[in-house]
Amino acid sequence: MSNKNPGISRLCKDFLLAPETDIEKVGAYAARCRIDLAIIGPEAPLERGIVDLLEERGVRCVGPGKEAARIETDKAWAREFMQRHSIRGSPAFGIFDEKRAAFEFIDELGDVAVKPSWLTGGKGVRTMGDQLEDVDDAKRYAGELLDEGKGPVVIEEKLIGEEFTIQAFVDGNTIRESPAVQDHKRAYEGDVGPNTGGMGSYSCPDGLLPFITRSEYEEGLAIMKEAVRAMREEVEGGYRGILYGQFILTSAGVRLLEFNARFGDPEAMNVLPLLESDFVGIMEGILDGKLPSTTYSRMATVCKYAVPKGYPVSPKKNAILRIGDIGDAKLFFASVNEVDGKIYTGTSRSLAVVGIAEDITDAERIAERGLRGIEGEFDCRHDIGTLELIRKKVRRIEKIRSLQTE
């Protein structure tokens, strides 16, 4: 880790402070510590090829190699991969490395999402009516991205609906899915403001969400299964690791917004505490191509992030956070730095509290109680997991469903 995360350091016999993207340093450290098994969390080292490097050095590794990780790290590649294998779920899209053709396609679609093809920590996608005012604004943003020279832009038909996440363990063939989760990307209460990595999330005891049916969940899962099957034709050994599908339920059915090659943040904090099966056994099953079955306890979860004041526009770094009595909430540290026993904010999300209970109301109450135990300056979204916000989403989907049947 690049900063000393007290949650991680307290679990460790030893740790290295270095950027996760410095894969040579991480590889040398893994060899020095004679590591048996590495599980790769974030996407940036996957993009650099950390799995390929560690495996070359004899460290067994859960996570896709550089080639397979393109399913997340290269959004243009991911859409073309889906098209090549006739995988359902993509909206109308085009991939452009020059402005004129991109602008013409924006005019043709009229209502669009503009995505950089490269990694942006979840903050790169902008849609019209949200972060982009109109067609001219969409063209301006697409042009700016192309001027960066980092790769093509993906222009997609704007999708309207409610988002949900499915995360799964994959051993190259078999896929074991976890409960659906809904993340909240917008920075401010009421689902407004700039996009963030995710301000909080919730899941329900039945593994579904109040606005999706079993068959809609299965539709999303089927898209993930098709991708895993197709990956066997693209890369040797197929896709091994964690696969994350970000879906949106629209009036035309379930569509895939994007794949990630890892657990979601915050969504991992909803599902992993519910996992009843042995985690290390699952990791070994991924490596051996013998993924065991997995079970999750049937509980509700609500996760809320505390973030630096001003995040994500002008986050206030180095503010002190003190952890007091957080009741029954679980606590997970993220972008913080511990120096001389004090915890300082970084520029990204600081720490999350998770409530787990038999129903969502109690889970939300536990998470709120957790937030009250954190002292210091931070922002958060109190509305996540509240019945008021969930009901709003259900009503929105009812409206969208009524368009389906018209």
* Helix, strand, or coil (residue 1): coil
Binding mask 192-231 for ligand GLY (x = CB under 6 A): ------x---------------------------------
Considering the complex, state which of residue 53 and residue 182 has its C-beta at the smaller distance from ligand GLY.
182
Q: Does 20 bind ligand GLY (CB under 6 A)?
A: no
Contacts 24+ apart (CB under 8 A), 27-34: 27/53, 27/54, 27/57, 27/59, 30/54, 30/57, 30/59, 31/57, 31/58, 31/59
Shortest spacing between CB 13 and ligand GLY, in angstroms: 28
Which value, to the nearest 10 degrees, does the dihedral of the CA atoms of residues 188, 191, 197, 201 take?
110
Considering the complex, state which of residue 89 and residue 264 has its C-beta at the smaller distance from ligand GLY.
264
Shortest spacing between CB 195 and ligand GLY, in angstroms: 10
Q: Does 183 bind ligand GLY (CB under 6 A)?
A: yes
Judged by CB under 6 A, which stretch of 134-142, 263-271, 278-286, 290-298 contacts ligand GLY? Answer: 263-271
Shortest spacing between CB 148 and ligand GLY, in angstroms: 21
Helices H, strands E: what count in the chain?
A: 13, 21
Judged by CB under 6 A, which stretch of 27-35, 45-53, 111-119, 258-266 contacts ligand GLY? Answer: 258-266
Helix segments in 184-314, DSSP class H: 214-234, 267-271, 279-288
Judged by CB under 6 A, which stretch of 264-272, 299-307, 377-385, 387-395 contacts ligand GLY? Answer: 264-272
Among 241, 264, 315, 385, binds ligand GLY (CB under 6 A): 264
Judged by CB under 6 A, which stretch of 4-12, 53-61, 260-268, 383-391 contacts ligand GLY? Answer: 260-268
Contact indicator for 304, 381 with CB cutoff of 8 Å: yes
Contact indicator for 321, 334 with CB cutoff of 8 Å: no
Whose tokens are 């301000």? That residue is 199
Residue 49 burial (10 A CB sphere; 0-12, 13-18, 19+): middle
133 vs 139: CA distance, rounded Å:
11
Site for ligand GLY in 108-127 (CB under 6 A): 122
Binding mask 132-171 for ligand GLY (x = CB under 6 A): ----------------------------------------
Considering the complex, state which of residue 163 and residue 219 has its C-beta at the smaller distance from ligand GLY.
163
Among 171, 219, 267, 368, binds ligand GLY (CB under 6 A): 267
Considering the complex, state which of residue 61 and residue 125 has its C-beta at the smaller distance from ligand GLY.
125
Q: Does 260 bind ligand GLY (CB under 6 A)?
A: yes
* Helix, strand, or coil (residue 365): helix
Shortest spacing between CB 359 and ligand GLY, in angstroms: 23
Considering the complex, state which of residue 264 and residue 285 has its C-beta at the smaller distance from ligand GLY.
264
Whose tokens are 């999330």? That residue is 201
Shortest spacing between CB 268 and ligand GLY, in angstroms: 8
Considering the complex, state which of residue 30 and residue 352 has its C-beta at the smaller distance from ligand GLY.
352
Site for ligand GLY in 316-345 (CB under 6 A): none
Distance of CA 17 to the CA centre of its chain: 24
Which region holds residue 266: left if phi is over 0, alpha if psi is between -120 and 50, else beta? alpha
Judged by CB under 6 A, which stretch of 145-153, 257-265, 323-331, 332-340 contacts ligand GLY? Answer: 257-265
Query: How far is residue 300 from each of residues 210, 268, 270, 356, 364, measured CA to CA in Å?
Result: 12, 14, 9, 6, 9
Among 47, 171, 177, 265, binds ligand GLY (CB under 6 A): 265
361 vs 359: CA distance, rounded Å:
6
β pairing state of 240-250 and 162-171:
antiparallel
317 vs 259: CA distance, rounded Å:
31
Judged by CB under 6 A, which stretch of 44-52, 259-267, 317-325, 374-382 contacts ligand GLY? Answer: 259-267
**Which residues neighbour 24 within 8 Å (Cβ) at sequence distance 6 or greater?**
53
Give the footprint of ligand GLY on this chain (CB under 6 A): 122, 183, 198, 260, 264-265, 267
